[in-house]
């Protein structure tokens, strides 16, 4: 359990370092299903004030905040919803990172036009329509509009990214911003050319099944 606190702190520290968040925006969490607990960034806290110890512990089965005297991120309901509904999920990140959120502002997905997108996401990064943040609306929209990519753009809002650890969620959030930036640059000089689905499949398969040590 202590290791997960450290992992979640590291995931939060990574967000400003990677330029994905400004001031208090954004948040990262991690989930320990064996102990029915998640750890999440405290609400409105500066990233350099976050420590493994001051993360907020929340019981996932009923949403009870276990840490006294400190409020969790206001995005807690969306994190809880995703951990309860997506099998194997262990890390969730929310950002308003600039390039990805620019696509969200105009309601456009990040098109599958780069091998890096085929590798990492295996599909376009979808964009859900605008949705308010009442109750489980955001979580429900993520389930409805996501594809196999480990992130999604929420229209007029920002990015949710996830993975099988807080660290892999960071990677998905960083890669989402990186490819959104490249595609945005491409759009300044022409129309991005889509990669055919069968070609994208080859890249995705190689990256997910044969790449790395
Ligand atoms: Zn937000």
Give distance in angstroms: CA of 95 to centre of ligand 1: 6
Strands (E) in 71-206, as ranges, are 91-95, 127-128, 151-154, 158-163
First vs last C-alpha separation in the chain: 27
pLDDT in tens, the chain (213 residues): 569 999 999 999 999 999 999 988 999 999 999 999 999 999 999 999 999 999 999 999 999 999 999 999 999 999 999 999 999 999 999 999 999 999 999 999 999 999 999 999 999 999 999 999 999 999 999 999 999 999 999 999 999 999 999 999 999 999 999 999 999 999 999 999 999 999 999 999 999 988 777
Indicate the fold that domain 2-209 takes in CATH.
Answer: L-fuculose-1-phosphate Aldolase (3.40.225)
Give how far Cα 97 sits from Cα of 30, 37, 102, 210, Å: 20, 27, 8, 30
Distance CA 210, CA 183 (A): 26
Give distance in angstroms: CA of 152 to centre of ligand 1: 13
Give distance in angstroms: CA of 160 to centre of ligand 1: 9
Active-site amino acid positions = 119, 211
Reported pTM: 0.95
129, 109 Cβ separation under 8 angstroms: no
Where do the domains of the chain lie?
Answer: 2-209
């Amino acid at each position: 359990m202590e290791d997960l606190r450290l992992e979640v702190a590291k995931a939060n520290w990574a967000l400003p370092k990677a330029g994905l968040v400004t001031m208090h925006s954004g948040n990262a969490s991690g989930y320990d299903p064996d102990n029915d607990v998640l750890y999440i960034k405290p609400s409105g806290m500066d990233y350099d004030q976050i420590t493994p110890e001051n993360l907020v512990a929340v019981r996932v089965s009923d949403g009870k905040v276990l840490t006294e005297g400190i409020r969790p991120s206001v995005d807690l309901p969306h994190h809880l919803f995703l951990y309860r509904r997506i099998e194997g999920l262990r890390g969730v990140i929310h950002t308003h990172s600039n390039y990805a959120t620019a696509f969200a502002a105009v309601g456009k997905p990040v098109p599958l036009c780069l091998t890096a997108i085929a590798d990492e996401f295996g599909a376009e990064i979808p964009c859900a329509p605008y949705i308010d943040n009442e109750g489980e609306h955001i979580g429900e929209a993520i389930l409805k509009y996501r594809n196999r990519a480990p992130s999604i753009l929420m229209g007029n809002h920002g990015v949710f990214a996830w993975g099988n650890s807080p660290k892999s969620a960071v990677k998905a959030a960083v890669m989402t911003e990186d490819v959104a930036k490249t595609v945005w640059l491409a759009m300044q000089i022409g129309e991005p050319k889509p990669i055919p689905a069968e070609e994208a499949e080859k890249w995705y398969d190689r990256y997910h099944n044969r790449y790395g040590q």
